[in-house]
Structure 1
Amino acid sequence: MANPFTFLQEVRSEAAKVTWPTRRETMITTGMVAVMVFFAALFFLSVDQIIRLGVRFILSFGG
């Protein structure tokens, strides 16, 4: 079992090696995610409506 103090030193040194994104990169990536979520929502809404219409059409023959 390693010494907790040594462990924390190693964690800190590894975190220092990480290349953190800039504020601009973070904002651009966040915007891209928001746009993709919007398009995914539109896609699933469209598919859901098409399936709903298809099921209603099929069920209209039954009764």
Structure 2
Amino acid sequence: MAITNPAKFIQETRAEISKVVWPTRREVVMTTIMVFIMAALTAVFFSLVDLAIRGGLNAVLSYFGG
């Protein structure tokens, strides 16, 4: 493994960081809102699936359980 000069490493790191395109405030806010909406929709979906499975399992158990 080659040994890198720390000063050169820092210089190259700064050069790479300067190439990063940072999102605007609006993009961050919109993405955050979309994440919260998708999380809420996912929670509702899995709640409905849970209710359906629970109802089906209760029906099967009550049918065979007496």
In the superposition, the TM-score normalised over structure 2's length comes to: 0.88
CA displacement, residues 9-63 of structure 1 (integer Å, 9 cap, x when unaligned): 1111101001100011100010011100000000000001100011111111232
Structure 1 consecutive aligned stretches of length 4 or more whose deviation exceeds 3 Å: none
Instruction: Report the RMSD for the aligned CA atoms in angstroms.
Output: 0.8
Select the residue among 5, 24, 30 that pairs with 1:28: 30
Partner of 2:17: 15
- Structure-2 separation of matches of 1:59 and 1:6: 70
Any unmatched runs of 5+ in structure 1?
none
Bigger radius of gyration: 2
**When the two structures are aligned, how many residues end up with a matched partner?**
63
Query: Mind listing any 5+ residue stretches in structure 2 that lack a counterpart?
Result: none
The alignment's TM-score, normalised by the length of structure 1, stands at 0.92
Q: 1:46 aligns with which of 45, 48, 52?
A: 48
Q: In the alignment, what sits opposite 1:6?
A: 8
The CA distance in 2 between the partners of 1:28 and 1:15, in whole Å, is: 24
